Structure formats: structure tokens, C-alpha cells
Structure 1
Amino acid sequence: MERRVLFLNPPSYKGFDGGAGSRYQARREVKSFWYPTWLAQTAALCPESKLIDAPPHDISPEEVIKIAKDFDMVVIFTSTPGFKNDAFLATNLKDAYPHMLIGMVGPHTTALPEESLKEAEAVDFVAIGEFDYTIKEIADGADLSEVKGIAYRRNGNVVINPRREWIKDMDALPSVLDVYKRDLCIENYFIGYLLHPYLSLYTGRGCPGRCTFCLWPQTIAGRKYRK
């Protein structure tokens, strides 16, 4: 059975500020909101999906829960600083819609898949690594036991499936622009050193750099540049 998917960059909590990327918006010294490109890319693969980027659009947890009623599955992009808050929202979603399938994606679940499932009991699965086709397969109705690149629960235990191979042909992925146009207000996105409004998308993934402060190559994007 195909599942209609809600992709969610969840609401921020008070004081959550700083960093880079869609889950690390800034509000204090500089107003900065980055596009949720990873989620948008996957949403473009899933017909009749919807993307909610809650922080720049000031969408509350209560509003998210109301919107979610029209979907079979919610995919939450999480991060280490916001994980507990995101897990709490997942619990509220599961309480409202017990049969809804809830997944989490992002660097945190890649680094700590088993711990993530143990700490977020309402979450049914977490993605490990690059998740575009992982989520696409689940949205198309695949059984979790057959999907590479996830950890999930089976009979009370955490099962970690084999890793998914890196995407080699980036041109096979659809454009994010239709998702941006459908679901986002581009005037809500700011970066201090760019003209406003601006647009952000990826033409490649991966980085051979060894920057000690950057988590993306060793979690989701990989160390080999792909285009």
C-alpha cells in the first residue's frame, strides 16, 4: 500500500539557535534560515507528499498535528540539539494518530540509530545515511524488513538493516524547485551574506574535506564528491 508522506522540519524550541543548515537556524545576532534541501529532494520523489519547514514559517506543534491528519506517514528531520524536542512531537503525533508510521532522518539517527529508537519510543524507524530512496521505498509500501539503510523495531528489539549504497547518478533525482514552489515561501529564507530573497539547491553531494567541525561527510553526504 502506498503511503502519503508528510516531510517535516519540526518547530524549534525556545532558545534553539545558531549553526548552519535547515535544522540550525539563527534568530539572535543574525536572522538566518537555510532551505530544507534534503527533505525537499526526497519529497520530490514521493507523489502527493507535503513538506513543512516549521521554523521559518512559524508553524506550531499544534498546527503540525492538525495538518498531519491527512497523511499516512511522517518523516522528521532531526538533529542532536533538538532530538528530545523532536521525539516529544513524535509522541504527540502517535497519540493523535496511532496507526501513523513515523520515521526520523538526519545525521543524529545515522550516528546513533539504536539509541535514537530507544529514546524516541513513538518512532517506528530511523534512516541511516543518505535517505532519498530509503524513504521512497517505504512510501511505496515496502516492508521495513526489506529496506536498506534503516533501523526499526521488531518484536520489541531494534533491527539494523544493511547500509544503502551511495547514489551514483545525481541527475536521476528530480528537481527540488517544484516542492519549493508548492510548499515554501522563499521570502522567509535569509542568510546574512546573500541577497534577499535567495534560493539554495544541490547539484552534487559529498566532500573530501576533513574539517573537524563538519558532520555531513561522515554521516549523510559521504567523502567522495558526486555530481
Structure 2
Amino acid sequence: MPFYNGTLFTIDRKEMLRYAGMNPKAPDFPKEKVDEAIEEALALAEPRGIWKVLPYDPEKGIVQGKSPLLLTGNSIRHHLSSSFSVAVMAVTVGDEIEKASDDAFRNGRYVEGLLLDAAATTATEHLADQVDRLIQKEAEKDGQKTAWRFSPGYGDWPVTAQKEFARIIETDQIGISVTDHSMLFPRKSVTAIIGISKCSQRPAPAKCRTCSLVTCPFRH
């Protein structure tokens, strides 16, 4: 299975500030702290990824692997209805940024902690985009197309599927585990599935439209 040792040269400032809930036009906007958080996050990030392509039975909703995985939820089954293979992927930026963020919060440096956390989230999504593009390019070599990536917790695909899904990806090989509460560790990690088929695939929707958490403050 392919491993991906990604590189992070920068962090999208606009996206980072969205996660942090900050307005760059505010009179008290902490520009220097933002710059410092980006620099520290880039220094602490340990980007790693893993992915593989597996056969998929769209009628039964089963991903084939060492142990077949039955996908539950109408949204994920509908999303993959034209796919006969899927790419399963996971990425992480490690836990050093999170440790630095937690340390800042513990010591009363709340702005620094918030910015580091937002920078880590942004970096994780950027890394997921890199692996996603790599999968797209590999599929194109065989004349196939990919659907946008879909993660446990999107739509009605329960987040409780995370542990079994992580197992089929073998996320432990890049240091990702799943807690008893179905949370990924390191927390700044992402798992996802990407449908592959000969059919023309629909474009990706706004990310927040695929999430069922309508009260999320980042929703737009």
C-alpha cells in the first residue's frame, strides 16, 4: 500500500482564521501571533499519509479487504452507488502541534493555543487534499474518475464506524489509533473513502454541507 510523506510549505491563513473564528479586519487582530503560530505549526508538523485501493460491491455496500467492511448509512451507500472500487485513506500531522496548543492553554496563553489548534486543523485538511489529488491522478491513469472524499460522521454514516474503517486502512502504520469514543488519535488526523469508477463523478460540495452537525460554528 502507498505511504505518503507529505510536505507542508505553508498554511492557508484564510482557512486557519476561519477555524479560529477571527476577523483579520478587527482592530485588535493579533497579526504577529498568527504569523508565529503558522511558523510553529510548520516546524512541529509530522505529515504522514497512507492509502490503498480496494474492490467495492455497491449493491451490498461491502468494501473488500483482509476483513470485509459493511458500510452503513444511506448517504455513503448512495455516494458510492456507481463505484466498483474505492480508495481508503488516512492522514495525520502528528500530535506535537496539539501538545503545544494544549500547553499554551494550560499556561493561560489562550490566543496562542487557539491559533495553533486552528493551524493544525488547516494543515491536516491540506494534507488530506494532497493525498486526494494523488489518488485522482492514479485513477486517471486507468481512465477512471473519482468522487469527492467522504468520512465517517458525514451524513448518516455513523462516526462509530471509525474504528473498523481505520482497521481496513491500517492506520496504525502511520501512528493513528481510534479511541473507545470513536475519536482519532492524534486528534489532527483524517480518514476518508473515495469512490472510483468509469462514470463521470459529481463535483465536491461545500465541505460543511456533507456534515450532519448543523450547530457547528464553522458551518457555512
TM-score bracket for this pair, using the shorter chain length: under 0.3
Give the number of the structure whose residues are more often strand, by fraction: 2
Give the number of the structure whose residues are more often helix, by fraction: 2
* TM-score, L = length of structure 1: 0.26
* TM-score, L = length of structure 2: 0.26
Q: Which has the higher contact order (CA 8 A, sep 6+)?
A: 2
